[in-house]
Structure 1
């Protein structure tokens, strides 16, 4: 009788250990393949030129008509891009503009090795040296066009960096920003953004 009990106890003990090992391995595999586990942390975007929730300074404001800014694209830094990132894109969009909104900036072809853009990367030629291309914004100019809303309530400007699964979206310099947005959307595997404000 004792021998039989011992056999039953050993068998149930082995079963419990096997179950524990299987559950542990299963949880480890799930964690390893979860989207969050593919990066060291959360994909984030920061800037020394603008602050999330803050007001855009004159350096980034448009410089034509009755807007008197320096029209310098903001400095941007991003961290913890998803695994599998093969390139980056950046956009700036005014969601409060009448109609469908207003495209201020769209850039594609930023290499996967990049993790930042200096201030004025658009006009300085920095993006061209990287091999990146810029869309025609809704001011009908290529590259960055800063905030210049009509007088009244401040507008919100969404600056987004996208991690892409492709190094080449086959976009050409000066194509419409809406086209850039579509192609970026088809290749995006992650994004991080800042929302800033500006009014006159």
Structure 2
């Protein structure tokens, strides 16, 4: 199929689904939330799609990595962060849940302590290790991807400390102004 025919098919398909294709051969990005903008999220400890240093995993100190991001939209009332592993054997494994970060926050330092509240007023949720804290990569076998996802929200969330990823996602629905994603990988030695 030539490029023009592929684009025509893509336009018909995207119109039917209410999605837009940006180029021939690209797959429509399925989103669980509405998003009107993007932000940039990164770590000073490793680069996007590269290996996470063992310091931030179960093979090391198992501490949270430092994260930094750029300005969210002006209407942002709070920020939320989810870190999860979609390559886990049984389900997507949740490593970290943080929400109600003040909108002026532009980073999280390394080694956020376990517990309900952060020093800036943000709250931590429960991970799949059953803790209200960051739980580092600890894949049973192979190289796994760890998605750090940051959300700029138009509201403060009515969630108590210890909320799960599912509770956070439900509360965020319809409130996402922008989002950013940063991926790290890890394989145990």
Question: Is TM > 0.5 for Structure 1 vs Structure 2?
Answer: yes
Alpha-carbon deviation of 1:100? 2.9
SS in 2 for 1:193: strand
How many residues are treated as equivalent by the alignment?
153
C-alpha change, 1:180 and 1:126, in structure 2 (3 Å) is closer
Structure that is richer in helix per residue:
1
* 1:119-166 CA-partner distances (Å, limit 9, x unpaired): 11244x795221111111001111100001102x20111001111101
Partner of 2:144: 155
Partner of 1:106: 97
C-alpha change, 1:76 and 1:142, in structure 2 (3 Å) is same
Give 4+ residue runs of structure 1 displaced > 6 Å after superposition: none
**Consecutive unaligned residues in structure 1, runs of 5 or more:** 1-34, 37-41, 63-67
Structure with higher RCO (Cα < 8 A, 6+ apart) = 2
The alignment's TM-score, normalised by the length of structure 1, stands at: 0.70
Distance 1:136 1:108 in 2: 11
Alpha-carbon deviation of 1:99? 3.3
Partner of 1:173: 161
- Whether 2:49 is the aligned partner of 1:60: answer no
**Consecutive unaligned residues in structure 2, runs of 5 or more:** 1-35
Contact 1:49 1:119 in 2 (8 A): no
The alignment's TM-score, normalised by the length of structure 2, stands at: 0.74
Structure showing greater radius of gyration is 1
Task: Give the CA RMSD over aligned residues.
Answer: 1.9
